[in-house]
Amino acid sequence: MASQEAARRLEAAGGGSYRDYLNRYNVIYIDFSVEPRDCSSYSQYIDRVQSGINFDLAEAYPECGLDQSRATWDLLTDIFQKTDDKFIFVIDEWDTVFHLPYITEEEKQSYLRFLRSLLKGQVYAELAYMTGILPIAKYSDGSEINMFLEYNMATSERFSEYFGFLDFEVDGIYHIYQQTVKNARITREELAGWYDGYQTAAGSRIYNPRSVVCALTDNQLRNYWTSSGTYDSIFHYIKDRITDMQDDLALLVSGEAVPADIQEYAAASMRLSTKDEIYSALVVYGLLTYEDGCVFIPNRELMESYFYLLPGTQVGRCADPGIKDRQHAGRGNPPD
């Protein structure tokens, strides 16, 4: 009862079909970024996923007498046949496999077949919601996982307001910050300058949600981007082409936009040989934003990362005169 009362206070409760679907489906959540301990092979990786789901299904449906050694999709089919229960799948970071160093090209294809067997055309699958950075369509040339509708911030207008925090949402969080944090140091304008600046295809203005929350929690403005091998690799491509890109970098760091032909699938291969491919990958990973055929650095948080790529730069010299001007002019915004 307590959970239902809390749910009624959510915006979703205003939907006309809210009560029709409330508590109607079990949810299977899979975070593909979580690896087994000391994992060094695809079989270890995917066995952990299947074994975990199978164990949960056997525990939730003891009356079905499930054999946990069978394939997950077979167990789910048995459950549906005996109970008519359907499932909603929430899959986070579906593309992790494509970044793991021990996964071969052949095993990546096996992973796509795993997703196909689990989800495609299955009577027990009511809905699958899948998130990740790399485009699904890149890997569905055949029939593996071509059953998804795909949305991204840079080129898809639908759902664009959900890729980050909108202004009114940040206003609400900032009000809580002012009421609860002693010696609150961050101004609302500073919050926008540091973490706003991303632009969606629909023209929505959004903020980097993680950075906003971290800054207000810590009561400190700074770069909250978590360094990773993927991001470092992309910046490595820029360094390799520093001579070709030096003029563009100077423009970007001064707050100007640079023309670019965004190619959605460039980030998938990570074989970036042209400036447009590099810029495309930077947009996909949220390290640049894209609008009207141009890319630009969205905010102060990311400005210093680019500034350090310029020859002869030093710590503390970062300036961002263009960012504030763009925001007041209505350009730019959302994060990932």
Reported as a single tens digit per residue, the pLDDT across 4-47 is 666 667 777 777 787 888 788 899 999 999 999 999 999 999 99
Q: Are 272 and 266 in contact (CB under 8 A)?
A: yes
Nearest to 287 by CA among 262, 263, 306: 306
* DSSP E strand boundaries for the chain: 26-31, 87-92, 125-130, 165-166, 198-199, 205-207, 258-259, 289-291, 294-296
Give the number of C-alpha atoms closer than 13 A to the C-alpha of residue 282, restricted to the C-beta side.
29
Looking up tokens 């002869």 gives 312
Is residue 132 scored above 70 in pLDDT? yes
Which amino acid does the sequence have at 297? I
The pLDDT tens digits for 146-185 are: 778 777 766 677 887 788 898 999 999 999 999 999 999 9
pLDDT for the residue 323: 46
Amino acid at 230: T
User: Helix, strand or coil for residue 124?
Assistant: coil
**Residue bearing the bigger pLDDT, 305 or 252:** 252
Is residue 274 very low, low, confident or very high in pLDDT (cuts 50, 70, 90)? confident
Q: What is the mean pLDDT of residues 194-218?
A: 86
Q: DSSP labels for 272-329?
A: --SHHHHHHHHHHTTSSEEETTEEE--SHHHHHHHHTTSTT--TT----HHHHHHHHH
165-166 and 205-207 strand pairing: antiparallel
- 121 sits in the region (left: phi over 0; alpha: psi -120 to 50; else beta) called left
State the pTM of this model: 0.71
Q: How far apart are CA 283 and CA 274, in angstroms?
A: 14
Question: Which residues, including other chains, have CB under 8 Å from residue 242's CB and lie 6 or more apart?
Answer: 249, 309, 311
Structure tokens at 319: 């300036």
Q: How many CA atoms lie within 13 A of 43 on its CB side?
A: 0
Phi, psi (deg, nearest 5) at residue 206: -135, 160
pLDDT band at 230 (very low <50, low <70, confident <90, very high): low
Distance of CA 23 to the CA centre of its chain: 27
pLDDT at res. 157: 76
Report the range of poorest mean pLDDT among 47-61, 75-89, 251-265: 251-265
Is residue 321 classed exposed, middle or buried when 0-12, 13-18 and 19+ CB atoms within 10 A define those classes?
exposed
- Inform me whether the pLDDT recorded for 306 exceeds 70: yes
